[in-house]
Structure 1
Amino acid sequence: MKPPALRTGVRWKISIAIAAVGALVAVALSLVVHNAARVSMLDNAREVQMERLLSAQRMYEASKPKEPKFGTKVNDPALPPELDRILQRKHRGTYVEEHEDGAPDVWAAVPLANGDTLSLHTRFANRSATIMKRLDEALIVGSVSVVFGGSALGVLIGGQLSRRLRKAATAAGKVAQGNTDVRVRDAIGGVVRDETDELARAVDALTDALNERIEAERRVTADIAHELRTPVTGLLTAAELLPPGRPTELVRDRAQAMRQLVEDVLEVARLDSASERAELQEIALGEFVSRRVAVLGPDVVVRVVHESWVNTDPRRLERILLNLLTNAAKYGRPPVEVTVEGRVVRVRDHGPGFPEALLRDGPSRFRTGASDRAGGGHGLGLTIAAGQARVLGARLTFRNAAPETPEGTARDSGGAIAVLWLPEHAPTNTGSFPMLPFPDEDGAPGAPGVR
């Protein structure tokens, strides 16, 4: 089981990174500045304390009788041990005594000629403590400002990068849907040149290369099918001249199948070229489907739940119906049912259902999806139906019905269901149409396009 993924945008990642780095730098600099200022003030206090003590020493040695001046003491018993050890070596020195709370004590001591020690003990200046307190407050305010400023800068920088990436993703999605005229580099725009532009150029180059390869394959397929048309037609004509008999029927059947295959390949090539345009007519969908299905499949049950007028191409719609019914008759089991509800047409059989590969990847040419159908089809019927639906601006989906077990009967496999969603707005004369979301079968909005 995969752990849940935390999805965050680039904007917030950059903002958090800049804020974290800013906080670390601000804290480090604040500590350095605080310690440097404190050490400097304490050193200054030591020097001032020593100068005062030396002045008091001169006055003490010159006075008669000898009396300490300026609060100095002779042989002070409270003298810190650290400072006492310095005096034992006949050196003068200073010492700062720290306290957990409050200002530190500053000591200064000098040895006298008679072996005594003269010392001065005072508290750290209140003014210096106030300065340190204000410095700490300024450092805290500055650190917080740096963090918030860094966060705002990160949001701005990350927002710009995020917008460019989102534009690139949107443009790449349009390319994936078949709109090969879209260029990712033009979509992201901007004056700044960064890695996003390199990614956009790479995607555009990949799109151009794929388009060239697809177009080359389409041309080759179309050329081969076109060249085969004449000899296959001649073969079919020659087969009609053969004497009656079983061998003649086999030859005619195979020649007719080859001719149909050539026509299907040519139609697929035309659909792949994206040059097909719909010739629109306004028709009553339920009535149209009923009349056409009566001709295409007399045994098919048609049910019109709700009539609807649609603006579409009747010839292409009939081609879609023909291919769906042919697929149901060839690979499914009766009864085959056609249901018209508004702008939705459903074709269902009661056979083994669509193969998993088709449900997952959609129709694929020259693949029927089952090993037991080898030689029974070329996988072009549903491919052509999906291509014609794309020209109409419709969406063609495939699914399998849930198995049913009526009481007292054998278990039903459910069957395959093909659903054609005709658009509310038909394609224009230029072949373009607004991509509106189609509802799923449960009424929820779905993605536009053809599966």
Structure 2
Amino acid sequence: MIRRRLVVTATAALAAALVVLTMGFYLVLSRQLEKGADGVLRARAGAAAATVTTFQGRLKVNETPFDEVLDSGVWVFDAGGVPVSTPPVPGPLDSSAQKLSAASRPTFRDVGDDVRMLAVPLHDPPTPDAVVVVALSMIPYRDAERTALIGALVFDMLVLGLSTLLVRRSVTQALRPVAQMTAQAAKWSERDLDRRFGLGSPRDELTGLASTLDGLLGRLSAALRHEQRVTAEIAHELRTPLTRLRLETEVALRRDRSAAELQAVLRRVLDGTDRMTTALDTLIGLAQRSIDPSAGTAAAVDVAADVLRACRARGREIQLDLECAAGLVVGCDREVVLRMLQPLLDNALRYGRSAVLLRVSRSGNDAVFAISDDGPGFGVGELEAVLGPGTQGRAAASGEGAGLGLALARRLAEAAGGTLTPKVSRGGLVELRLPVA
């Protein structure tokens, strides 16, 4: 869960920072306490040195009002290392003080963990050569360090606990809108795909998320509408030919037919089935390319030659007039271009008396495919009607075709960003325009 990860990460970072700060605090405190202890030792050594004099050529320690305090932990040695003054009660530190009696310069030495000693040589007249050794118990300082460390750790735990609660609450509040938006988007995706957050252009993380979710909902809504539209188109496109095939079959079954008549009926049913299969494949292919525009590749205008070869393989002759530069590429999948041209050429061959011409040229940013024949052509009043599904022109004989060719070609052209336009001329003329890649 992202909230837990954020809280753990923030808490771990804070804990690491507190550990570093506590270690730094402890080291600084320990150093300051050590300096304080050294200062006390120097002061005691100086006070003890002030009491050292000579009497009749011998080293002597003068009495002071605070002898009990001063003599505790103070040793005075002459130049030969002989003790002149020692603490009233002998103790285990006497041997350590004796070792420091030979010091030639101020020397600090730790005896165990609880005692720190300082030896200070005296060489300035009128004081004779001597060594003052003083000792200081470090227990109060160690207790102060320990108390400060425990206090710092307790403080760290309190800070860490309170900070964790604060971070958890802050992260929860910060992520609450994200959770609400996610739940709302999931709800809309199931029931109302037209709803949007509508927070405008992204300004921060939340508005960026809202914009992304709006885009996803928009694409999901478009995909759903596309699916519904494709389903409706397939049903609409196939309704008329299916009705005709059923009518052909019912008429054939009303009375006994000769073998020749039955063969003719079956041939028409087979042709109708082939046309419906082609229409269904075209619609499904169009749907797939609408969902994934990257499917397929751009096609060069030599697809026209592929169509011509297919027509000639079936014994049909079409003239090709290539008026554009070689290698011109249109921004449409090769297979889609073939499916656009095939029904247009089939219609031209069906209604043309002799010559059928496919002229390929370029006009601005469009590649223009013009299919012309010497047939009856289109009337002025039917230019738009023949582009509708199930509608045929005036030249079509009864029961000939299903009226799907131009409608499918037009849908494919519009899906590819082009146009398909039948025109009035001496014969049949249909112009297909596709954008150049």
TM-score bracket, normalised by the shorter chain, equals 0.3 to 0.5
Q: TM-score, normalised by structure 1?
A: 0.44
Q: Which has the larger radius of gyration?
A: 2
Q: TM-score, normalised by structure 2?
A: 0.45
